[in-house]
């Protein structure tokens, strides 16, 4: 560490040192004004740099594809590009660190945050994370890899203990973090909310000090997730540098007192401060005295990158000679996601995008509106449709809606998060009340449903009548990061075209863990059986029917796992009806993970489009029309049914958890490993995806010249045998023939994305080192490549081998972790 930083620490009082170990506000650390330091500012990611605004509203930002969409690209070079572009967007928000990437493993198909993660496989996740971090940090923005560790579910995540044996931790869940430190040099690590084997991750000495710093050599900032620190001395002593957000809850004066009482040493404080200052120096924050200003930069090159990345992540799962669409066809555009731009998931990765392109808009641009017809068919909302209308918000400096109005503002929709302070900073966001007023004009007459969900007390009046009451008997539920109630719904008759007056009363209440206030109010007229019948009639008159179904950010969201993986609402019935009306039906699925597909044999085509960012509709239209190739391969196994999933169990201790514990009893058998070892056929296997062209694979060769060190080089010729440009993903799996202890049947150890013009050939090459052959010996605390035979299989997915060769390791090779 430079003498400059040590000199700076020496010049600080204890109070000034301690001030740097917690946030000043929601997004920044305090400056030490006496010594002229700047402020370190962070912003949320990973699919965009949101800036200092809330989860809705605020300065506009660029919405990139979500994690699972990027994971489906299997393209490390593309992830590097995305990281570099996000560095530019982070700078536009006057921030120095991006809270990204998210690299937790997709253990369960129902995890609400799967959309934010790359894959069920640790190697694919690690490779992509390293590239993403490289793109960020080569452009001066510090990455903050998260959530360390064991956050594979959103159920009671702030208190749940993930019970994971050390071997599974080492071989599965820690690998992306290890690679991020050792290969990418990540400057930040964020701890998970949950406990790991009984100890909160934010005060877990083994994770933070022994493994992260001691074994891996991490020298950056370890920060808590927001409100994820639960103690003073234990977190500091365990290795947590930074408590976020501010103002401090567990540090500040409490930490000064702990030092003076001898509970925390001054050397420990110096070490934590040194970590903070080193990253501030690296990012330039230490001497950054620019006035704080956030800019909305909608760059054309970012638009192009998002559109290209979105298409490259789309996975063609079925194609009976129907895609790409032939020119001149009449196309029926059906479904709840057809005119809704589902560009991202829910939770802390949300942002206010520059724009949203729906599939309908993308197809209008590509085909012309005269070629299209439309019907929604059914809905897929988890909540009642959000009220999209201006609302006046009046704030009161109490929880009783009494006294003078201290501030007024206008919001454009009935969804808002309040954090830090409200009313122009006059009132803390944990203690106030507000009245929101506006209007709703129905498009159709009928019985409308009115819903309210809130982190705080809330009630909705329509034309002066109380319709939805989440105030009188408020009960904690699964909204707003488990700080909110489940939606409370009431009904009222409304007349088409006649405005209805809406009033929402809100008051804060004591929170559980996260200091936020929030509400969401929706109103709508439900669709019914007649709407499916009408959609089928529209489809029957078209040459091709495109059905846009799936989920949205209400379902795929931080803070709430999915109740199941069946499609919500009447979407299965809709697909069945459309397929019956028109055999040339293509389903375009948008979701953050697998869904059950009882209709799969009745449709001609299926594209998994994920949540591909603000260019969603254009990227989808590019793939459907053939302007772009569907370049994706599944980063997660799609099971036939939910019960096939590795974490599914009749014992709630395995999932979703019980009495504050969730046991990872499947051990190493996560994802495709589970299906292999239990002989379960998936609906679509890990790594699967079709193309608009074809490929040949030849001449598998293995260089064994370094076999004594348990290292080999594998090469293979790949040739595009079709008449279109396209890409394939060559996957290399290793199977130990007779391992000294139980191992998965096979494990992905390397892959290559190969893009080729028609007739073009290229040689794919894979370097495997000893770690590729190793298991972790917990007793010896060593990585061990055991002597014996190993089968190396090159494949196009987890169940489709191309060629295989056997290699023999004659020596035991050991490595320290």
Whether 223 and 91 map to the same domain: the answer is yes
Q: In this model, does residue 117 exceed pLDDT 80?
A: yes
Q: Which residue has the tokens 């400057």?
A: 187
The Cα–Cα gap between 105 and 164 comes to 13
Beta bridge partners of 552: none
Confidence band (pLDDT; 50, 70, 90) for 58? confident
Same domain, 511 and 623: no
Beta-bridge mates of residue 684: 638
Is pLDDT above 90 for 142?
Answer: yes
Helices 175-182 and 122-137 meet at what angle, rounded to 10? 30
State how far the alpha carbon of 380 is from the alpha carbons of 234, 547, 562, in Å. Answer: 45, 13, 14
- The distance of Cα 570 from the centroid of its chain, to the nearest Å, equals 26
* 487 neighbors 453 (Cβ within 8 angstroms): yes
At residue 91, the pLDDT reads: 97
Least confident range from 345-349, 356-360, 760-764: namely: 345-349
pLDDT for res 1: 41
For 238, the 3-state DSSP assignment is helix
Angstrom distance (rounded) from CA 693 to CA 724: 6
Distance CA 589, CA 115 (A): 14
DSSP β-bridge partners for residue 591: none
Q: Is 234 helix (H, G, I), strand (E, B) or coil?
A: helix
Q: Could you tell me which of 731, 732, 722 has the C-alpha nearest to residue 761?
A: 722
Domain end: 501, 524, 547, which one?
A: 524
Give the neighbor-by-neighbor strand order of the sheet with 372-375.
Answer: 315-319, 605-608, 585-590, 544-550, 331-334, 372-375
Strands 421-422 and 457-462: unpaired
Domain co-membership, 534 together with 520 = no
Same domain? For 168 and 265 the reply is yes
Asked whether residue 469 carries a pLDDT value surpassing 80, the answer given is yes
Count of domains for the chain = 4
User: pLDDT at residue 662 above 70?
Assistant: yes
Q: CA 332 to CA 35: how far, in whole Å?
A: 66
The token duo for 608 is: 């998994």
297 found inside a domain: no
- Residue 397 predicted with pLDDT over 50: yes
Task: Give residue 54's pLDDT.
Answer: 67
Residues catalogued as catalytic: 225
The half-sphere exposure of 717 on its side-chain side, counting CA atoms within 13 A, is: 8
Whether residues 562 and 578 share a domain: the answer is yes
The phi and psi torsions of 201 (rounded to 5 degrees) equal -60, -30
Please give the structure tokens belonging to residue 744: 């998965």
CA angle 590, 318, 726 (to 5 degrees): 90
Structure tokens at 419: 């954090």
The verdict on 251 and 181 lying in the same domain is: yes
Tell me: the pLDDT tens digits for 429-456?
Answer: 899 999 999 999 999 999 999 999 999 9
Q: Answer yes or no: is pLDDT of 3 > 70.
A: no
Do 408 and 358 lie in one domain? The reply is no
Q: Nearest to residue 450, comparing CAs of 503, 395, 378?
A: 503
What is the rounded distance in angstroms from the CA atom of residue 412 to the CA atom of residue 429?
A: 20
172 DSSP assignment: I
Token pair belonging to 426: 């006059």
Shared domain check, 152 and 14: yes
- Mean pLDDT score of the chain: 96
Residue 74 in tokens: 């299997």
Q: What percent of the chain has pLDDT over 90?
A: 95
pLDDT tens-digit profile of 34-43?
Answer: 999 999 999 9
Residue 678: inside a domain = no
DSSP per position, 287-355: G--PPP-------HHHHHHHHHHHHHH-EEEEESS--SPPTT--EEEESTTSSS-----BSTT---BS-
Examine the pLDDT at 403 and tell me if it is beyond 70. yes
Indicate if 810 and 739 belong to the same structural domain. yes
CA atoms within 13 A on the CB side of 527: 21
Closest CA to 62 of 102, 28, 89: 89
Q: Is the pLDDT of residue 566 over 70?
A: yes
Compute the residue count for the chain: 817
Among 556, 521, 328, 509, which residue's Cα sits nearest to residue 439?
Answer: 521
Q: Domain range for residue 759?
A: 695-815
d(CA 577, CA 738): 51
In CATH, what number is assigned to the domain containing residue 808?
Answer: 2.60.40.10
Cβ-based neighbours of 459, under 8 Å, separated by 6 or more: 452, 466, 468, 469, 470, 471, 472, 504, 505
CB 346 within 8 A of CB 381: no
The verdict on 423 and 554 lying in the same domain is no
Give the CATH number of the domain where residue 197 resides: 3.20.20.300
Q: Report if residue 409 sits inside a domain.
A: yes
Check: CB of residue 61 under 8 Å from CB of residue 49. yes
Q: Closest by alpha carbon to 620, among 587, 588, 572?
A: 588
The vertex-312 CA angle with 310 and 313, nearest 5°, equals 65
Indicate whether 585 belongs to any domain: yes
pLDDT for position 2: 47
pLDDT band at 391 (very low <50, low <70, confident <90, very high): very high
Residue 305 belongs to some domain of the structure: no
**Secondary element (H or E) of residue 666:** none
Q: Residue range 648-677: average pLDDT?
A: 97
Give the residue-averaged pLDDT of 372-378. 98
Here the tokens at position 360 are 């309908």
| Among candidate residues 287, 307, 326, the one where a domain is terminated | 287
- pLDDT at residue 644 in the model: 97
Q: Tell how strand 661-663 and strand 788-797 pair up.
A: unpaired
- The answer to whether residues 25 and 97 belong to one domain is yes
Q: Given a cut of 50, is residue 184 above it in pLDDT?
A: yes
Phi then psi for residue 197, to 5 deg, are 50, 45
Residue 485: give its domain's CATH number.
2.60.120.260
Cβ atoms of residues 660 and 695 within 8 Å: no
Say if residue 581 is in the same domain as residue 559: yes
Last residue within a domain, chosen from 243, 271, 287: 287
The CATH number of the domain holding residue 573 is 3.40.50.1700
């Amino acid at each position: 560490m430079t003498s400059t930083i040590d000199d700076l620490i020496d010049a600080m009082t204890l109070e000034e040192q301690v001030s740097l170990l917690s946030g000043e506000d929601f997004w920044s650390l305090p400056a030490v004004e006496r010594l002229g330091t700047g402020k370190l500012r962070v912003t949320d990611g990973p699919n965009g740099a949101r800036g200092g605004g809330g989860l809705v509203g605020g300065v506009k930002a660029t919405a990139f594809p979500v994690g699972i969409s990027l994971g489906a690209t299997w393209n490390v070079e593309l992830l590097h590009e995305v990281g570099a572009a996000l560095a530019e967007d982070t700078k536009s928000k006057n921030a120095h660190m991006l809270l990204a990437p998210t690299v937790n493993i997709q253990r369960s198909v129902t995890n609400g945050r799967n959309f934010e993660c790359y894959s069920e496989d640790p190697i694919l996740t690690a490779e992509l994370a390293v590239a993403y971090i490289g793109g960020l940090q080569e452009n001066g923005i510090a990455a903050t890899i998260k959530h360390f560790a064991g956050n594979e579910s959103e159920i009671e995540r702030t208190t749940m203990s993930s019970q994971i044996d050390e071997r599974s931790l080492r071989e599965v869940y820690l690998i992306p973090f290890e690679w991020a430190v050792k290969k990418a040099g990540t400057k930040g690590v964020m701890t998970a909310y949950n406990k790991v084997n009984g100890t909160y991750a934010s005060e877990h000495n083994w994770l933070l000090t022994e493994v992260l710093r001691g074994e891996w050599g991490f020298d950056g900032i370890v920060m808590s997730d927001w409100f994820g620190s639960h103690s003073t001395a234990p977190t500091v002593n365990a290795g947590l540098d930074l408590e976020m957000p501010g103002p401090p809850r567990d540090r500040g004066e409490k930490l000064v007192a702990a030092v003076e009482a001898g509970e925390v040493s001054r050397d420990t404080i110096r070490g934590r401060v040194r970590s903070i200052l080193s990253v501030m120096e690296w990012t330039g924050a230490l001497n950054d005295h620019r006035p704080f200003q956030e800019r909305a930069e909608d760059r054309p090159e970012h638009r192009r990158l998002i559109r290209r990345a979105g298409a490259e992540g789309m996975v063609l799962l079925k194609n009976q000679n129907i895609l790409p669409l032939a020119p001149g066809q009449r196309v029926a555009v059906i479904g709840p996601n057809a005119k809704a731009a589902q560009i991202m998931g829910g939770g802390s990765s949300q942002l206010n995008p520059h724009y949203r392109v729906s599939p309908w808009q993308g197809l209008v641009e590509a085909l012309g509106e005269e070629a299209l017809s439309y019907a929604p068919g059914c809905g897929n909302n988890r909540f009642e449709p959000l009220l999209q209308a201006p609302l006046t918000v009046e704030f009161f400096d109490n929880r009783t809606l009494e006294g003078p109005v201290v501030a007024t503002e206008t919001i454009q929709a009935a969804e808002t998060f309040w954090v830090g302070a409200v009313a122009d900073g006059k009132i803390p966001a944990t203690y106030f009340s507000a009245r929101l007023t506006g209007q709703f004009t129905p498009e159709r007459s009928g019985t409308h449903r009115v819903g309210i969900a809130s982190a705080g007390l809330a009630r909705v009046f329509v034309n002066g009548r109380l319709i939805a009451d989440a105030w009188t008997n408020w009960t904690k539920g699964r909204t707003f990061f488990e700080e909110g109630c489940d939606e409370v719904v009431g009904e009222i008759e409304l007349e088409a075209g006649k405005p209805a007056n809406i009033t929402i009363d809100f008051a804060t209440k004591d929170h559980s863990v996260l200091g936020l206030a929030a509400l969401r109010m929706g109103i709508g007229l439900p669709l019914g059986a007649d709407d499916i019948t009408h959609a089928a009639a529209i489809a029957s008159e078209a040459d091709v029917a495109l059905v846009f179904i799936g989920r949205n950010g209400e379902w795929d969201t931080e803070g709430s796992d999915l109740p199941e993986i069946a499609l919500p609402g009447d979407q299965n019935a809709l697909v069945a009806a459309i397929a019956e009306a028109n055999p040339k039906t293509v389903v375009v699925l948008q979701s953050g993970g697998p869904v059950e597909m009882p209709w799969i044999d009745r449709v001609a085509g299926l594209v998994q489009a994920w949540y591909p960012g603000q260019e969603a509709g254009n990227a989808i239209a590019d793939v459907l029309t053939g302007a772009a190739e569907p370049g994706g391969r599944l980063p997660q196994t799609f099971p036939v049914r939910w019960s096939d999933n590795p974490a599914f169990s009749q014992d709630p201790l395995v999932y979703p958890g019980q009495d504050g514990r969730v046991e990872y009893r499947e051990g190493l058998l996560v994802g495709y490993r589970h299906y292999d070892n239990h002989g379960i056929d998936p609906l679509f296997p890990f790594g699967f995806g079709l193309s608009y062209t074809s490929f040949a694979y030849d001449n598998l060769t293995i260089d064994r010249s370094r076999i004594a060190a348990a290292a080999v080089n594998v090469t293979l010729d790949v040739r595009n045998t079709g008449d279109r440009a396209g890409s394939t993903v060559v996957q290399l799996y290793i199977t130990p023939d007779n391992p000294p202890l139980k191992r998965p049947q096979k494990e992905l150890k390397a892959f290559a994305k190969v893009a080729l013009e028609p007739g073009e050939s290229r040689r794919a090459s894979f370097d495997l080192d000893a770690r590729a052959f190793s298991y972790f010996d917990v007793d010896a605390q060593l990585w061990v490549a055991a002597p014996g035979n190993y089968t190396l299989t090159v494949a196009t997915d987890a169940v489709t081998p191309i060629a295989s060769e056997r290699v023999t390791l004659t020596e035991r090779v050991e490595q320290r972790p």
